[in-house]
Every structure is written in C-alpha cells, then in structure tokens.
Amino acid sequence: MRPLILNALHFRSSEQKYLEEVALHSMGEHLADPLLHIVQDTHNPDKCRLIAGKILGKYAPKSLESHLFSVIRREIDRAYFYFYHGHTIQKQVPEHDLSILRNALLTGYQSIIDFIIQLLGSAGSLEESEILSQTLRSSNRKIRAQAIESLEKTCPPRLFTLLEPLIDERAPEEKLHHYLKSGGIPLNLTQLLDRLSSSASRADQIISLAMKAQLKTPDWRSLLKTKLAGNEEIFHHFATELLESHYA
C-alpha cells in the first residue's frame, strides 16, 4: 500500500478517490502504522501524506487523532519557515530580483496551511475543511475572520492556540519575530535554495533549480542532471524550457 500511495502524487483526483476506496476495503490492522508513518514523514510529498491521512482517518481515526498534535505542530513550524523567508529573503540580496522566489515561498506557506486544515478534517476535528481552507485564502478580510472564528469553534483548543497566530490578522512583523523566538534559523540565499532543492515538494525543487540557473550558481547544471536521472516527466519538461531560456 505504501508504494501505491507515494506514487499517487501523479494521480488525478478521481484516481486518488478510487485509491482511498480500495485501501479502505483492503485495510488490515497491520496497515495502520505504515499509514501513520507516511503522514508523519515530511520527506513524503504533502499530497501523499494527506491521502494516507484520509484513509487513516476513516479506518483508524483514534490512531490519527492521538498523533495529530505533534504532526500539526511540526507543520506549523514549516509554515513559519516559508513565511519568514518569503518576507525577508529579498532584503538580503537587493541587487537581485527574487520576486519569483518570494511568491513561491508564500505559496508554500499557504499550501502548508491548506494541508493542516485538510488533515484536521481527515481526523474529524473540522467540518467542511475544503471550504474552510478556501475561505482562509480569501482577499476579503471579513470572510477570513469568519473562517478563523469557525475554526476556533470546531478545532481542538490546544491546536487552535498553535494555529491562530499563523493565520490571524496580526502584523507580519509579529510572525517574523515568532519564527526567531521559537528557534527558527534565518538562512541566506544559498542555504535557502539548497534547502528547497531537497524538499519533498516538486514546486520547491523546481523554483530552487530555476533560481540557481538564473543566478548562475556553479552547481545548477549538475543538479539538473540529477533531477533528470529520476525520470520524472515534470523535470524533463522543465529542463527543456530552462535550457532553451538559458541559451537563448
């Protein structure tokens, strides 16, 4: 079951739902722990972790619920990492235009918030988690406030206490300070791109490689070669576009 779930990264939505149904019909007690490990392991793509979480939430909800706090706390730390560097990396190197990187980091932050909300829904801690996730991204401040209020009413208090400072309307500076206060380490541009290149997120890997090529770092060609060796179609498409633009 584990290989199938990890390969589901490339499945269409209908195929993912079919996988969940098949998994539920074939689940045995011995599969609960492997599913939990997939959810906990941040080296797995979030999409695959969420599929495992949905299956686990239906088959063994108490198992997911008992580990939910530690998983969500780790995800919140990840979200702060993306938020912090999305708001500070440009100031480190004003001589370069890092707007693409900044936008990618803030998108990564929002993706983790979505993951948290969806996982809470899988654990039965939230109702209408998909709708709630969408309303938290609304540009309307009143709608976002209503979403946070709804989250407070349905989310376990201990989890909401962790999540609220990350999603409420407080100033970005407070969130940046929280990252540092909680032990977060500010990375320079090189360190940040290296971190993204080893991320489980394909989007992170691609933006890292694109920025390395743009900045002409010594390792970008070898990194591209390594990605192409993995035979993932998305990197072959990206490599063609990258090389064409680089040598145009």
CB 245 within 8 A of CB 234: no
Distance (Å, whole) CA 206 – CA 221: 13
Which one-letter DSSP state was computed for residue 29?
Answer: G
Q: What is the pLDDT of residue 11?
A: 67
CB 199 within 8 A of CB 205: yes
Kindly tell me if the per-residue pLDDT of 86 is higher than 80.
Answer: yes
Q: How many CB atoms are located within 10 Å of the residue 189 CB?
A: 18
Kindly tell me if the per-residue pLDDT of 235 is higher than 60.
Answer: yes
Q: What is the pLDDT of residue 189?
A: 97
Q: Please classify residue 97 by burial: count the beta carbons closer than 10 Å to its beta carbon, then call 0-12 exposed, 13-18 middle and 19+ buried.
A: exposed
CA proximity to 120, closest of 173, 46, 128: 128
Contacts 24+ apart (CB under 8 A), 157-160: 158/69, 159/68, 159/69, 159/72, 159/120, 159/125
CB 19 within 8 A of CB 11: yes
Segment among 62-66, 135-139, 178-182, 235-239 with least mean pLDDT: 235-239
pLDDT in tens, 128-186: 788 888 888 888 999 999 999 989 988 889 999 999 999 998 899 999 999 999 999 99
Instruction: Average the pLDDT over 68-96 and give the result.
Output: 96
pLDDT band at 240 (very low <50, low <70, confident <90, very high): low
In sign, the C-alpha dihedral spanning 124, 128, 130, 132 is negative
b/e burial code for range 137-154 (CB count within 10 A of at least 16 → b): eeeeeeebeebbebbeeb
CB 125 within 8 A of CB 118: no
Residues in contact with 63: Cβ distance below 8 Å, sequence separation at least 6, in sequence order = 32, 33, 36, 56
Q: What is the pLDDT of residue 131?
A: 85
CB 210 within 8 A of CB 244: no
